């Protein structure tokens, strides 16, 4: 048996992929016969401490558990640009802190190949391995009952074509292109699942507020959704449209792909290494508009990209992810 303490600090909140990764890891490890699990405890008698956040509690634990500490790297310095106010000014401090924090661990698990490259660029000293996010396909799947229920919940007609984004409302997430695309395709319903958990610390707060208040009539902002509601939010949708700028490996992309939603993403350099060729891409609102219109009007094109999403989800099955994670635990604890 391997005794594992999985930790995540409260400051990360509940409306982001880091919290999702934490929840999914805990849920999956509970089912592993060779793992004794503790969550956010001060349990001294553990073989592994697996952290999903790198705040003060993580730093303090690193002094005591450094030889048995594993940390999942969900962020890189550019993750803060366009997310929080004045991020360009304190990016050098963030770079210094990320190097310090990740170098405290025995093993760093990068959630994508690009994350590993970025951590190497800032000279993180720890061993860095890539293990991309995974999806529980028993939880996230096409579900007609959930589709009907969640459409009723949000006042969406059953015959509407729904394009959904999941993420915090912030400039980095591409909110302005999302709104412009919605304005260009008035026959399609656009839904943004997420809010602004950091309040006025969110970059461009006042401009964002005006943009949301003046959104086209075919746009719905749900606000922050509970994780338990996310399978339904995807099930009620027809397309997943997420136009962020810098992005690592968003959990939402594979959750949506498991529901067989065609993926429409910004043409970012981060994606090919993890999403391969299984997504549609554009750079401008004009690009996104043309693709949404084709998905809406061309059933064969739509079916093709549903199949591509299904193929992508098959590459990130939860069982394979947990098997590799447990192998990391055994290696670091010396119980391989």
* pTM metric for this prediction: 0.86
Residues 118 and 238 in one domain: no
The pLDDT, as a whole number, for residue 90 is 55
Using the structure block, give the residue that is written with the tokens 């400051």: 11
**Do residues 197 and 223 touch, judged by C-beta distance below 8 A?**
no
Lowest mean pLDDT among 124-128, 251-255, 268-272: 268-272
Residues 156 and 230 in one domain: yes
Residues 180 and 306 in one domain: yes
- Residue 278 in this model has a pLDDT that exceeds 70: yes
Residues 288 and 323 in one domain: no
Sheet holding 48-51, edge to edge: 35-39, 2-7, 48-51, 69-73, 107-110, 127-130
Residues 149 and 286 in one domain: yes
Residues 322 and 310 in one domain: no
Nearest Cα residue to 260 out of 216, 304, 292: 304
The pLDDT, as a whole number, for residue 199 is 57
CATH code, domain carrying 97? 3.40.50.2000
H or E element in which residue 110 lies: strand 107-110
Residues 164 and 309 in one domain: yes
DSSP string, 24-66: HHHHHHTT-TTEEEEES---SS-SEEEES--SHHHHHHHHHHG
Residues 289 and 161 in one domain: yes
The pLDDT > 70 percentage for the chain reads 91
- With a CB cutoff of 8 Å and minimum separation 6, the contacts of 279 are 253, 263, 264, 265, 271, 308, 309, 312
Residues 106 and 156 in one domain: no
Residues 122 and 156 in one domain: no
3 state SS of 112: coil
How many independent structural domains does the chain possess? 2
Range of the domain at 306: 144-314
* β-bridge partners, 163: 190, 239
Residues 41 and 112 in one domain: yes
Q: What angle do CA 31, 250, 62 make, to 5 degrees?
A: 65
Confidence of residue 246 (pLDDT cuts 50, 70, 90): confident
pLDDT greater at residue 203 or residue 134: 134
Please report whether residue 98 resides in a domain: yes
3 state SS of 162: strand
Tokens found for residue 324: 């590799």
The pLDDT, as a whole number, for residue 41 is 87
Span 58-67, pLDDT tens digits: 998 899 888 9
Q: What integer is the mean pLDDT of 239-262? A: 90
Please report whether residue 139 resides in a domain: no
Alpha carbon distance, N-terminus to C-terminus of the chain? 11
**Do residues 233 and 252 touch, judged by C-beta distance below 8 A?**
no
Residues 127 and 17 in one domain: yes
């Amino acid at each position: 048996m391997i005794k594992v303490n999985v930790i995540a600090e409260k400051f990360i909140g509940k409306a982001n992929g880091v919290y999702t990764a934490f929840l999914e890891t805990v849920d999956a490890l509970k089912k592993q016969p060779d793992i004794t699990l503790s969550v956010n405890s001060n349990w001294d008698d553990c073989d592994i401490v697996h952290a999903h956040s790198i705040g003060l509690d993580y730093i303090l634990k690193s002094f005591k558990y450094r030889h048995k500490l594993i940390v999942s790297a969900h962020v890189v310095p550019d993750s803060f640009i366009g997310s929080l106010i004045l991020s360009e000014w304190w990016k050098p401090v963030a770079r210094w802190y990320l190097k310090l924090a990740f170098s405290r661990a025995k093993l760093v698990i990068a959630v994508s190949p690009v994350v590993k490259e970025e951590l190497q660029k800032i000279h993180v000293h720890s061993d860095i391995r890539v293990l991309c996010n995974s999806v529980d396909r028993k939880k996230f799947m096409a579900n007609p009952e959930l589709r009907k229920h969640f459409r009723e919940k949000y006042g969406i007609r059953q015959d509407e074509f729904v394009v959904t984004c999941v993420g915090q409302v912030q400039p980095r997430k591409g909110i302005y292109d999302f709104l412009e695309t919605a304005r260009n395709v008035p026959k399609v319903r656009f839904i943004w699942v997420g809010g602004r958990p950091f309040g006025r610390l969110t970059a461009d707060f006042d401009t964002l507020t005006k943009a949301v208040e003046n959104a086209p009539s075919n746009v719905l902002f749900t606000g922050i959704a509970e994780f338990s509601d996310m399978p339904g939010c995807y099930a009620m949708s027809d397309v997943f449209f997420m136009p962020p700028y810098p992005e690592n490996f968003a959990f939402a992309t594979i959750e949506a792909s498991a529901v067989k939603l065609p993926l429409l993403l910004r043409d970012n350099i981060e994606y090919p290494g993890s999403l391969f060729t299984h997504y549609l891409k554009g750079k401008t609102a004009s690009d996104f508009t043309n693709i949404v219109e084709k998905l809406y009007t061309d059933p064969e094109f739509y079916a093709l990209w549903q199949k591509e999403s299904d193929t992508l989800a098959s590459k990130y099955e939860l069982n394979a992810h947990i098997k590799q994670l447990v192998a990391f635990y055994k290696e670091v604890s010396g119980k391989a």
